[in-house]
Structure 1
Amino acid sequence: MILHDLISLDILRVIWWVLLGVLLIGFALTDGFDMGVGALLPFVGKTDVERRVSINTIGPVWEGNQVWFILGGGAIFAAWPPLYAVSFSGFYLAMFAVLAALILRPVAFKYRSKRDDARWRNRWDWALFVGGAVPALIFGVAVGNVLQGVPFEFNNDLMALYPGNVFSKFIGLLNPFALLAGVVSLSMLLMHGAAWLTLKTEGPVQMRARAIGSVAGTVAFATYILAGIWLAFGIAGYHLATAVPANGPSNPLFSQVVHGGSWFAAYAARPWIAIAPILGLVGIALATLGLRSGREISTLLFSKLGIFGVISSVGLTMFPFILPSSLQPDASLTVWDSSSSQQTLFVMLVAALIFMPIILAYTAWVYKVLWGKVTVEDIERDNQTVY
């Protein structure tokens, strides 16, 4: 028996669906507070020193945190090729905006302190704001569009086709429900960034972060509930009309999909998945209360719990769908018909089991070494070695 035959294709597909979720959640939990701090920077820091304190809470770790984003993109490319091709084609301008913002961030980190000029530094501070706020917003908008279905179709050669030009497709993404999902994402990561600043700073920066973060947490809580109600009663879901062989070929056109009913039918079929939105709401609520009461470590942990619950609720609600099609429902991508081969998934799994523990161990060691608050005294003492 060939080694990769020890794990069947259906199990490998589910494993990689879970691992993709882990990578995306890992990115949100780590780089999420980086983006949150960047988006908060012009508001929590009123002086140059205060802003440098904020920047130096994330300066040593942001590059490592982006590893999760790279791993997530790589996993989509290798484990779910149709998803990679279809999503990057449909969200081309949105992806370009995200990448431009993420590229702007390291440039701002490196160039901000090159000149001792207030206007120069202020421009780069707003660049860091863009580098944090834009991706946080667009990621949520993308999720909102996925839940509604993306307008693509396949021809007989399995080539993905989109109606309209690139600009019209981008404008189409900015619909009301998607923008609401964007607000959920942005406010949630602002709360997460504020929780990080509460843990890593003191004095005026910490106080402002608590005040802004508690408002952001309240907004995240309210908009998440509103989005859930809208999804339950105003957004048509997707359902498989016939059973799809879990070990079948990766050809989405072999499935029959019904676009109608509610996504929330998943909760009737699998009641246990309700734990995800409950964790999301509880985590956001406790993080918001923690920001208001001045707690530090528990606030960050509850913020992470909230993000975990919110993101996992989307994946569990949609399962087995990964990218539904509003234009040709039968072309919708699911866990069962859009993966790579069994051998590819197995080899990737072996690599993940080897390298993921190394990445996690190194990340834990880095945070242990960098544990503690960043103070004004640190900035003034190490003026030449900090951002």
Structure 2
Amino acid sequence: LFLRPLAFDYRSKIDSLKWRTNWDKALFVGSMVPPLVFGVAFGNLLQGVPFSFDSLMRVTYTGSFFALFTPFTLLTGVVSVCMMLLHGSTWLVMRTDADVAQRSANIGRVISVVLALAFALAGVMVWQSIDGYLVISTIDTMGQAQPTIKEVTTASGAWLDNYKETPLLWLVPAVGVVAPVFVAFLLSIKSKSTPVKVFAFIGSSFTIISIILTAGIAMFPFVLPSSSQPNHSLLMWDTVSSEGTLGLMLTVVAVFIPIIIGYTLWCYKKMWRTVTVAEIEQNNHTAY
């Protein structure tokens, strides 16, 4: 991430094509690596991470760095990157015009299809080749957190159990597949009115929300499954803070979140406009 602010600041310092191209590459790397890492990390959560606790509750990781990269985790990394690319392309379609908007629409159409296919393929792998985790012992949700005192088993396709118990939840992954296809359709419209651009961006937003929720629903109540010692897997009740801490956090959130939402909306309202080619040409050393 440290490359992003540097690239934004230094790109316009020297009027040189090579200089700007190099900073564009740095901006690309700084923007692509974080979502790729997050996607690979989330894929490892679904696969399980090899860790365990000793008698003093010290954590031991028994895996290796390269073991984190498997076909499934790389696929979830691709899904994560495609989510960001799609959202960025729909944002540019909505905020720019001329060639930039058209190039963004072209990229967005391709990314939409790739994202839908990658997400569907990841779902098939979760169903067929990834072992899910199940708690088979009674959970004391009101007691003291004891991560090692429970019984957990693994089974192929077990991550889909929450969906089988509540069939209505299947709508969430369905949106994750249908929404990007809908966005691709909107971006293929040649004469894009403002509502079309806005709906494409909203469709991209729903795509991201549904994909993240799909994984969250599948894993519930697991937060960090252990592939080496399943009984040591962390559930949401194992990772929760104390009642006093949660109460303090609720107070802080109740006060500051409305303030953050308010000034964020105000900033977007003040800066909201279509960035034109003429504006960039007139301010080529300050706009970017």
Is this contact kept in 2: 1:140–1:178, CA < 8 A?
yes
Structure with more contact order per residue of length (Cα contacts < 8 Å, sep ≥ 6):
1
Q: Where does residue 313 of structure 1 map in the other structure?
A: 214
Distance in 2 of aligned mates of 1:103 and 1:240:
41
Deviation by residue 1:4-61 (Cα, 9 ceiling, x = unmatched): xxxxxxxxxxxxxxxxxxxxxxxxxxxxxxxxxxxxxxxxxxxxxxxxxxxxxxxxxx
Matching of residues 57-76 of structure 1 within 5 Å: none
Deviation by residue 1:141-186 (Cα, 9 ceiling, x = unmatched): 111111000111111111111125xxxx221111000001111111
Q: Which amino acid aligns with 1:327?
A: S
Shift of residue 282, structure 1, vs aligned partner: 2.5
Q: Where does residue 286 of structure 1 map in the other structure?
A: 182
Is this contact kept in 1: 2:12–2:284, CA < 8 A?
no
Distance in 2 of aligned mates of 1:271 and 1:255:
27
Q: Where does residue 149 of structure 2 map in the other structure?
A: 254
Is this contact kept in 2: 1:150–1:325, CA < 8 A?
yes
Q: Where does residue 244 of structure 1 map in the other structure?
A: 139
Distance in 1 of aligned mates of 2:111 and 2:284:
32
SS, match of residue 337 in structure 1: helix
Deviation by residue 1:344-381 (Cα, 9 ceiling, x = unmatched): 11111111111111111111111111111111221233
Q: Where does residue 267 of structure 1 map in the other structure?
A: 163
Is this contact kept in 1: 2:133–2:155, CA < 8 A?
yes
Deviation by residue 1:242-276 (Cα, 9 ceiling, x = unmatched): 12111121221122111224211111222232222
Q: Where does residue 256 of structure 2 map in the other structure?
A: 355
Q: Where does residue 96 of structure 2 map in the other structure?
A: 201
Is this contact kept in 2: 1:201–1:373, CA < 8 A?
yes
Is this contact kept in 2: 1:276–1:313, CA < 8 A?
yes
How big is the alpha-carbon RMSD for the aligned residues of Structure 1 and Structure 2? 1.3
Shift of residue 384, structure 1, vs aligned partner: 4.8
Q: 1:299 aligns with which of 196, 200, 220?
A: 200
Shift of residue 288, structure 1, vs aligned partner: 1.6
Shift of residue 383, structure 1, vs aligned partner: 4.2
Q: Where does residue 59 of structure 1 map in the other structure?
A: none
Is this contact kept in 2: 1:136–1:186, CA < 8 A?
yes
SS, match of residue 336 in structure 1: helix
Aligned-pair identity (%): 42
Q: Which consecutive residues of structure 2, in runs of 5 or more, have no partner in the other structure?
A: none
Shift of residue 279, structure 1, vs aligned partner: 2.2
Q: Where does residue 322 of structure 1 map in the other structure?
A: 223
Q: 1:171 aligns with which of 51, 61, 66?
A: 66
Q: Which has the higher helix share?
A: 1
Q: Where does residue 346 of structure 1 map in the other structure?
A: 247
Q: Where does residue 6 of structure 1 map in the other structure?
A: none
Q: Where does residue 135 of structure 1 map in the other structure?
A: 34
Q: Where does residue 109 of structure 1 map in the other structure?
A: 8
Is this contact kept in 2: 1:237–1:260, CA < 8 A?
yes
Distance in 1 of aligned mates of 2:257 and 2:81:
28
Q: Which consecutive residues of structure 1, in runs of 5 or more, have no partner in the other structure?
A: 1-101
Q: 1:181 aligns with which of 49, 72, 76?
A: 76
| Residues 1:297 and 1:205: Cα distance change in structure 2 (over 3 Å) | same
TM-score by length of 2: 0.94
Shift of residue 302, structure 1, vs aligned partner: 0.5
Is this contact kept in 2: 1:250–1:340, CA < 8 A?
no
Shift of residue 212, structure 1, vs aligned partner: 1.1
Deviation by residue 1:203-239 (Cα, 9 ceiling, x = unmatched): 1111111111110110000010110011011111001
Distance in 1 of aligned mates of 2:171 and 2:265:
27
TM-score by length of 1: 0.71
Shift of residue 386, structure 1, vs aligned partner: 2.1
Q: Which amino acid aligns with 2:174?
A: I
1:233 and 2:128 aligned: yes
Q: Where does residue 5 of structure 1 map in the other structure?
A: none
SS, match of residue 12 in structure 2: helix
Q: Where does residue 219 of structure 1 map in the other structure?
A: 114
